[in-house]
Structure 1
Amino acid sequence: MPAADDAPVLLRGADRAAFAVAFAARLRRAGLRAGLTETDDLVRALQASPPTSRSTLYWTARVASVRRHGDLAVFDRVFASVFDDTPPLPLSRAAVPPKRHDDTVHVTVPGTGGETTAGGEGLPWATLPAAVAAEEPSDDGLGLPELRPSALAALAGTPFEELDQRQTEALGAALRDALTRWPHRRGRRHRAGPAGRRVALRPTIARARRTGWEAITVVRERPVPRPRRVVMLCDVSESMRAQAAAYMQLMRAFTTVAGAEVFAFATRLTRLTVPLRHTSPREAVNQAGAAVDDRFGGTRIAANVSALLDSHHGNTVRGGVVIVASDGWDSDPPEAMTAAMARLRRRAYQIIWLNPRAGAPGWAPKVGGMAAALPFCDLLLPAATFADLTAAADHLRISTTGRRGRA
């Protein structure tokens, strides 16, 4: 009986890590979740138990790569496409023919669609794939590049008026993904925590029963944080035509991520919370645009702020963060703006004003409505690009630590 060290081992002398990475990549392309953890498990399994047959290799790879029963069919299909109808694998290093410097040892792997890849694109079991020269550009047709995160980052600094509908929707989706932090406030409920300042009486007394009613172990509790309500008012008048589509994406991000209340206004106030909750981004924006029948007209900021406070939605402002997106052009007198913002200041926790012209060089809040509203705002932020909107969304987490100084 041959010794254990003399037993024929499949893939002897092969690069286990390269094999595991290439095999996991093929599994991912077929739809199976094979990440870094599964790849590392496969490498360690091949090191701990070198396969001596195709069946042993199958079970080793299956145990290391498959986590769900529904993925077994995908794994069997990929494994069969890799190892069926291929040249015999070397059982030992001595069985490998001598390789010249210009040779490349690769096993051709049939593709999932029945095609066979060749030319150094198989699984790199013994050597790395050969370097392939870049494909010559052809004039047969226009190739549309995939919009990658780097391209989105480049578009984030582009003014809104230079973006088309597809780019605006892509940046809106990236804005929703980036909106991961939300302001919180202290709730009325409490839970046990070692950093709490208040003593939890019931748990402390319960533990004191075990020690002769001596409170040796003191249990502390702290308030449970609750999400703070956010209300956004967006100006959709004629002076904000270029920014209206982008601000719709911001309002939809607030609505879908944390259930904020959003309103649009020109000459009157329109609630857009329900239309913007639609699962389709384009349909949500279309329904919101159809609901606002006075857009691209005049502006009455003070009247609409007062209408919000007087309506049954006025309680949503109480203790919340109010975001006003407008350039400050108002047909109402500055005295009306002062009175409306004073009422809003007494009811809201924090007021953030987004102005698309605030980032321009030499800009100053000299417009009557903007100058009257500025003393009641905690923050005045520029909002001319998607990068500005992302930065404005990041300022929401300031509400968790306390009110900022006024701008």
Structure 2
Amino acid sequence: MPEYAPLDLPDNPKLVGNITHFARALRRAGLPIGPGRLVDAIQAVAAAGFTERRDFYWTLHACFVSRPEHRAVFAQLFRLYWRDPRYLEHMMAAMLPAVRGVQEDRGAQAAEKRAAEALLDGAGMPDAPEQEEEQGTEIEIDASLTTSGEEKLKSLDFEQMSTAEMAQAKAILARMTLPIDPTAMRRTQAAATGRIDAARTLRGAMRFGGEIRDLKWRTPKLRYPNLVVLCDISGSMSQYSRVVLHFLHAVSNAKGVGWARVHAFTFGTRLTNITRHLETRDVDAALRAAGAEAQDWEGGTRIGTCIETFNHDWSRRVLGQDAVVLLITDGLDRDDPDALARQMQRLHLSARRLIWINPLLRWDEFAPKARGIAAMLPHVDSFRAGHSISSLEDLAAVISKRDDVGERDRLMRLIGR
């Protein structure tokens, strides 16, 4: 936290109302804040005092923030709410492309849009703070140039989407498919063209005293593979995994796009099979049931242990018929990297293709420095980003190409392999 000037807060009981409204904004932004935490925060501020903004910040932080991924949202909302009007202008500029009086172009960082939206949506509440009127800060918004361009939305990071943008993104994902080309089998079937079927041709000739009147043809039978998805639902992947599961629900329920069956598993500290839940036609009911089944949402990560469980309990059941495996994780794991590498190698050998989807690849400066990422990378066929709708569309375009490696080879060179 940077240094701040002494706070100029309203006298009691206004302070209680301000903290209450601030807690409501945090809740709208996704923090799990109930009445108990609000009461604790008010009592903590009364006990600790608020002569300096730093003390006030960390007092509320201790009461409202319980997960590392919530720190960014809390920081943005704190600066928005507790009297930083210039920062408020920046946030509104990030949400709307035309804000008069704001000259500085500033891209929204992770969690900022959700924080700004959570606060601004409730600006008209009765207990909203009145300090902005005292400062005379007036922001005039021109919404005439605001567009919801689908192309811009497709390139936007899931982590930076507002609630409205996320709803639009989920609607687009519900219409998307993940088509796969079938595999030709050794067994053949009768056909109008193809290769000559000598056995059937000779059997037909026997009916006419050995005279061949018609040639019979055959072609290889086609078999569609299974799609097996292993999705990381730990704290660092929470926002991405929820969106990807919406996409997987659409893939699981799509007809005529090729997959024999879609098997889905989530993992954080343990492996959970959610296949039957994704087969529910209603996406909200499906994900609600999947969330109830997986008890380790937004928890820690034990990638090696969970992949070992999959290899031991599930690989023979679901990886038959040249299955394609999508591994969706950031690869940040604290388990033994050698054990993780062994389990990845076993998974790779059991699948037709192993494709790793990593949202961290959205950063241009991304490098496989983490031990878990370096251990996993040599054992995948393709390494691709998965942070936006466009990245998922790119995946759909190349998933049938056996020679597609994505960014794997480039990153392998960075680790000297």
TM-score (normalizing by structure 1) = 0.58
Post-superposition offset of 1:380: 0.3
Instruction: Report the equivalent of 2:290.
Output: 288
Instruction: Report the equivalent of 2:245.
Output: 248
Alpha-carbon separation, structure 2, partners of 1:190 and 1:306: 37
Task: Flag structure 2 segments of 5+ consecutive residues without an equivalent.
Answer: 1-142, 410-417
State the Cα deviation string for residues 193-216 of structure 1 (Å, max 9, x = none): 3553462522x1354247642436
Are residues 1:268 and 2:270 paired?
yes
Counting aligned pairs with the same residue, the percent is 29
Amino acid in the other structure paired with 1:234: C
Amino acid in the other structure paired with 1:255: S
Q: 1:199 aligns with which of 186, 197, 200?
A: 197
Amino acid in the other structure paired with 2:356: W
State the Cα deviation string for residues 92-127 of structure 1 (Å, max 9, x = none): xxxxxxxxxxxxxxxxxxxxxxxxxxxxxxxxxxxx
Alpha-carbon separation, structure 1, partners of 2:194 and 2:403: 22
Amino acid in the other structure paired with 1:248: L
Alpha-carbon separation, structure 2, partners of 1:379 and 1:198: 38
Instruction: Report the equivalent of 2:228.
Output: 231
Answer 1 or 2: which has greater helix percent.
2
Alpha-carbon separation, structure 1, partners of 2:369 and 2:337: 12
Q: Equivalences for 1:24-103 in 2 at 5 Å?
A: none
Alpha-carbon separation, structure 2, partners of 1:347 and 1:281: 30
Please report the RMSD computed on the Cα atoms of aligned residues, expressed in angstroms.
2.9
Q: Judging changes above 3 Å, is the alpha-carbon distance between structure 1 residues 388 and 218 closer, same or farther for their aligned structure 2 residues? A: same
State the Cα deviation string for residues 282-338 of structure 1 (Å, max 9, x = none): 222222222221121111111111101111454312321110011110121110111
Residues matched between the structures, number: 260
Alpha-carbon separation, structure 1, partners of 2:358 and 2:178: 23
Q: Quick check: 230-239 or 360-369, which moved more?
A: 360-369
Post-superposition offset of 1:162: 2.5
Alpha-carbon separation, structure 1, partners of 2:306 and 2:273: 11
Q: 1:330 aligns with which of 310, 333, 339?
A: 333
Amino acid in the other structure paired with 1:341: M
Post-superposition offset of 1:386: 1.2
SS in 2 for 1:397: coil
Amino acid in the other structure paired with 1:370: I
Instruction: Report the equivalent of 2:380.
Output: 377
Post-superposition offset of 1:255: 2.0
Instruction: Report the equivalent of 2:354.
Output: 351
Amino acid in the other structure paired with 2:311: L
Alpha-carbon separation, structure 2, partners of 1:306 and 1:331: 15
Q: Quick check: 338-347 or 358-367, which moved more?
A: 358-367
Q: 1:163 aligns with which of 161, 164, 173?
A: 161
Counterpart contact for 2:178–2:251, Cα < 8 Å: no
Instruction: Report the equivalent of 1:305.
Output: 307
SS in 1 for 2:357: strand
Q: Judging changes above 3 Å, is the alpha-carbon distance between structure 1 residues 372 and 270 closer, same or farther for their aligned structure 2 residues? A: same
Q: 1:396 aligns with which of 390, 396, 399?
A: 399
Task: Flag structure 1 segments of 5+ consecutive residues without an equivalent.
Answer: 1-142
Counterpart contact for 2:178–2:396, Cα < 8 Å: no
Counterpart contact for 2:196–2:215, Cα < 8 Å: no
Alpha-carbon separation, structure 1, partners of 2:264 and 2:181: 16
Amino acid in the other structure paired with 1:342: Q
